[in-house]
Structure 1
Amino acid sequence: MPILYVHGVNVRSRDNFFAMEVFARRYLAPAISDDPDGVTIADAYWGDHAFDPSYGGASRPRTRLLGMGADPLPDLQQTAQAAIDYSDSLDRVPAVDSPAPQAGGLASGGIPGPQDTEDFDLAALSDQQLGDVVIAVLEQAEKDPVALAKMAVAVDGLVQDGTLAAIVQQHADLTDQLNAIFDAVQTASTDTDALAGMGIADWAARARDLAQEALSRVNSSGPFLLSVALAEARPKINQLVSQFLGDVFVYLDKRGTAGAPGIVPNIVLDKLKALHAIKLERGGEPLIVVSHSMGGQLIYDIVSHFLPKDPALANIKIDFWCASASQVGFFEEGKLFLEADPSHVTGKKVPFPGGNLGYWWNVHDQNDFLSFTGRDIFEGIDDEAYDSGMSLIKAHGGYLARPSFYRRMAEKITSSQSDGGLV
């Protein structure tokens, strides 16, 4: 049973796929095959043929603090950015009742106002939320996506066996809780063959320090620091939005048609042809596709136009499609797809492209301003919200960095098989 990953915008390397492959092998492969190690996991990388700004992004305005937005971050900006990065995760941590709350309360954007760090109560978190907070801290200690994926799997194991929850219950002091948590993470990671020799001790030590520092920074941030952080976040937002728009324009202009597919659709079609052959070799096991962001629009054009319009490809079927962080619903509202029908408007949903698609799970994050729902637009779609717990800037890519997301996908695949949705 092959799995294909199709990336989205703002991706110019395959690093995210290699990280996704770690999660897919751990959570998805066992759900779809009795031979998980034999499951082919591939990607259709099209980043080299996407938007390439001829002036290197010079059209993006410079910020007041950094001037040339891409320069190394000064300490003040790093502090401000830390407040933004941690705000959503820490806002989830319920506060213990305080006899005399200090003035300030919640600052704009959900960042807690000044208070003692001991007011945070990790014991009030659900197991999944606790794991997400730990992973969010680790994301600040290490930036390699593959290493982070392996560490997230290790943390998820501690969540699933109850270790993290037990630690929180055993220690009343927040500092003791954090120390014990990262001791357990370090031990679990060191015992994991895939993480051996990766400097886990140094990594865990950095994460431990960052956890304490993050609580302090967020609690002392205040409105001024928040305003600086929001202003200095502009380069990241500009880059995400401009690259997104650029990739969209390039794709729409050069995608071609079924008779003459453009280079990006051809990349996806070639991968599908190869995986379809593997599917047949393995007795017709279902073909799974996971797309992110703009990758969703590529797949929708594939199943609604390129596959059914080409007799040589018409027998290829995607049995389960997870469209994460996609804009498929938005594109259909704008009638931007090759098979868009102007008569499909409010009150008349777009028919499910069932000839070449078995099951469609569309997932959007409430914090992700670039993800859209499709439940009121397409027939037969399974549309669901997912909470990554990440900030507005990071949420767009957060789906594929959380074990809980892959666990949910595995459940969907399993239920689809039992309901006869996969053939």
Structure 2
Amino acid sequence: MVQVVFVHGVANRKSDAGFDANVAIRDRRFKELAFSSADFTIRNPYWGEFGADPQWKLASVPNFDADYQALGIGAALAQGGGSQILEAARIDFAAVVGALSVAAISNPNEAPAQDIELFWMRVARYAAAQPKPAWLGTVTDDAQFCDRLRKEAEAGAAIQALGFLDQVKAAADKIKGSASNLVNGPFARAGREKITPGLAIFIGDVFRYLRENDARTQIRKTVSEAIVAAGKQRKPNEPFVLVGHSMGGVILYDLLASSETVEGFSAAIGTKFAVDLFLTVGSQVALFEEMKLYEASTSEFSGQSRSVPRPEAVKNWWNAFDKMDVLSFITSPIFEGAEDFSVDTIAGVLDAHGAYFSSTMFYTRLNARLKNIGLAP
């Protein structure tokens, strides 16, 4: 029989719509696709009840009107065409000037030339003094807008003929090309509405776990009991697998890296505790070690000396990440004996963190690797 313990990540609550159904679907996929075994037991210790509990029900998260109107320049910029910048400027001239200046002088690799910076400072002063210039009603497209803006900024200054028109046009093209990513854009607003609540709970759950308090103790106890139960039921030579998604991987590593905890597992199970596979998925295990946040973290292992050894009780450690998942990190530069595997779910940034277990290719490729090490028939 295959013994699997799956530890969920942050922002998982039983009160969420479809929670139990999603767990059942994921269990079935692990059983039928990944391990392809009828003789299979999976435990899902639930620790969400000890996580963050926002007392104002996330009232601090900004809300936007459903139609995204009259909240700024984003809608005009997202419409396309040859007058995106102009239309946005007619809505909020200062906001457009601010966006243009960011596009023009925000190069993390090099500082802007002083004359370029001075030019954009003059543009900003002009916009502050003329928040609704009358000429916005006389120009007809973005090219005319850029030219007129340049002339207004240069008026009365000894900075003419230095190629600033090209600077303005380049900045305009840059913000038009990334209009959907603007904070004021409708797609970005929709994205924030979707991702911010989950991110807020993520931050809360992480802090709840890292603090030495009752919540941390209860989370570790809940997960440890599931591991011990699986270990007791496991027969000799049967596969024993621990899977941690996101924060679940952090919790599992924290337990596995503690020699005292592992000794406790061995005593409770009645035999030496060992894990055939530790699978972390979309997890922050390595990031937390870089920041030295674990009980077992020590300056003995660092980028200046050497990598951290894989937990002694772990025979194989695989770490799955998606390049589009901003909450996933690779492990091999930090830990000895950890293998990283890229998962391409084709999900966008907003959905990639939870998309692993909806991808049949994830389970299929996992199954092939499990067969290679004798953990699947």
**Alpha-carbon distance, 1:4 to partner:** 1.4
Q: Which has the larger radius of gyration?
A: 2
1:263-412 superposed matches below 5 A: 263-280=218-235, 283-305=236-258, 307-310=261-264, 312-313=267-268, 315-346=272-303, 347-354=305-312, 356-412=313-369
SS of aligned partner of 1:4: strand
Q: Structure 1 9/224 Cα, relative in aligned 2: closer, same or farther at 3 Å? A: closer
| Secondary structure of residue in 2 paired with 1:19 | helix
Q: Per the alignment, do residues 74 and 279 of structure 1 end up closer, same or farther by CA in structure 2, a change over 3 Å counting?
A: farther
Shift of 1:307: 3.0
Relative distance call for 1:358 and 1:224 in structure 2 (3 A) is closer
User: Separation in 2 of the partners of 1:48 and 1:406?
Assistant: 28
Q: Which residue of 2 aligns with 1:58?
A: 59
State the shift of 1:62 in Å.
2.3
Return the letter of the residue paired with 2:7.
V
User: Which residue, 205, 210, 225 being the options, matches 1:252?
Assistant: 210
CA contact (8 A) 2:245 2:280 kept: yes
- The residue type equivalent to 2:255 in the other structure is I
Q: 1:343 to 1:312 in 2, by over 3 A?
A: same
User: What is the CA-CA distance between 1:309 and the residue it aligns to?
Assistant: 4.7
Q: What is the rounded CA distance, in whole Å, between the counterparts of 1:55 and 1:359 in structure 2? A: 43
Shift of 1:29: 2.8
Aligned to 2:191: 233
Whether the aligned pair in 2 keeps the contact of 1:364 and 1:386 (CA below 8 Å) is yes
Partner of 1:29: 35
Paired with 1:224 and 1:407, the residues of 2 have a C-alpha distance of 35
Q: Which moved more, 1:6-15 or 1:226-235?
A: 226-235
Q: Report the CA distance shift for 1:232/1:383 in structure 2 as closer, same or farther (over 3 A).
A: same
Q: Secondary structure at the match of 1:335?
A: coil
- 3-state SS in 1 of match to 2:374: helix
Aligned counterparts of 1:403 and 1:29: Cα–Cα separation in 2:
13
Matched residue of 1:246: which SS?
helix
In the alignment, is the contact (CA less than 8 A) between 1:349 and 1:377 conserved in 2? yes
- Unpaired runs of 5+ in structure 1? 31-35, 67-72, 81-101, 105-221
Instruction: Return the letter of the residue paired with 2:249.
Output: G
**In 2, Cα distance between equivalents of 1:294 and 1:241:** 12
Checking the alignment, whether the CA contact within 8 Å between 1:359 and 1:416 is kept in structure 2 is: no
**Partners in 1 of 2:360 and 2:51 — Cα distance?**
29
TM-superposed CA distance for 1:417, in Å, is 2.5
The AA in structure 2 aligned to 1:2 is Q
* Distance across 1 between alignment mates of 2:348 and 2:216: 37
Counterpart for residue 48 of structure 1: 49
| Partner AA of 2:226 in structure 1 | K
Provide Cα deviations, 1:96-119, integer angstroms capped at 9, x if missing partner: xxxxxx999xxxxxxxxxxxxxxx
- Give yes or no for contact 2:35–2:370 (8 Å, CA) kept in 1: no
Contact 1:323 1:361 in 2 (8 A): yes
Give 3-state SS (helix, strand or coil) of 1:233's partner. Answer: helix
Take 2:273 and 2:179, find their aligned partners in 1: how far apart are those partners?
Answer: 55
CA distance in 2, matches of 1:286, 1:261: 29
Once residues 381 and 54 of structure 1 are traced to their aligned partners in structure 2, the CA distance between those partners, rounded to angstroms, is: 39
The 2-side partners of 1:410 and 1:321 are apart by 15
8 Å Cα contact 2:208/2:216 also seen in 1: no
Render the CA deviation track for 1:61-106: whole Å, top value 9, x for unaligned. 223x34xxxxxx899xxxx9xxxxxxxxxxxxxxxxxxxxx999xx
Code of the aligned partner of 1:268: V
Give, in whole Å, the separation in 1 of the partners of 2:363 and 2:337.
22
Instruction: Output the aligned Cα RMSD.
Output: 3.1
1:413 CA drift (Å): 1.6
Secondary structure class of the residue paired with 1:382: strand
- Name the % identity: 29
Q: Match for residue 90 of structure 2?
A: none
State the distance in 2 between where 1:224 and 1:48 align. Answer: 37
Question: Does the aligned pair in 2 maintain the 1:7–1:295 contact within 8 Å?
Answer: yes
Kept after mapping to 2: 8 A contact 1:375/1:381? yes
Letter in 1 for 2:192: R
The answer to whether the 8 A contact 1:272-1:316 is kept is: no
